[in-house]
Amino acid sequence: DGATSFAAFGGYLLNESATLTDLDDAQRITAVMITPGAFAALGVTPVLGQLFTDADATGARGAFGSVLISHQLWRERYGSSRTIIGHQIEVNRRPARVVGVLPAGFAFPISAARVYFPLPVAVRGAGLDFRFINAIARLRDGAAPNHAEAELQTVIRRIPERFADITPE
């Protein structure tokens, strides 16, 4: 809120300790928790299925629900099967429904990322545990980076008053 220079804005957390447990052979993978807006900021379109919706990101942390998978994982583990969309896979022995396959070569935030879970971020009821989310944004066409930086500085200065109940002095 209050920053008009951006076309899209999102956040992500890297989690390097996930295991696919849905087939006979368990496989260690790198997982990313990411907000739906981050994909818009990155300009990503899935090759199959869809990206996360805001509804996907309303669940509690750890309640995976929906998942996006990398093109490499789709090819190597699931044989490039187009029936993967809507299919339930298992990560850390918890079910997750595949909603999309990301394009070949997509590697964010690191090349080892294989699965992406929606990252729920609620402004209401947020706590200080959200202060370590990495952010990414896309400037609106014609927006100047220095103007966007000035807007962000204004937003940052307003955090203590706007979120007095969760912001330490």
pLDDT digits over 60-97, tens only? 544 458 999 999 999 999 999 999 999 999 998 889 99
pLDDT at 62: 45
Is residue 64 within 8 Å of residue 34, measured between CB atoms? Answer: no
| Per-residue model confidence (pLDDT) at position 61 | 47
The pTM for the full model equals 0.84
pLDDT above 60 (res 55): yes
Q: What is the pLDDT of residues 12-42, one digit of tens each?
A: 998 777 999 988 889 999 999 999 999 999 9
Whether the pLDDT of residue 160 is over 90: the answer is: no
How far is residue 81 from each of residues 30, 78, 107, 165, measured CA to CA in Å? Answer: 21, 6, 21, 49
Cα 101 from Cα 79, distance rounded (Å): 12
Give me the chain's average pLDDT, please.
87
Cβ proximity of 147 and 5 under 8 Å: yes
Residue 133 has pLDDT above 70, yes or no: yes
Of the two residues 55 and 90, the one the predictor is more confident about is: 90
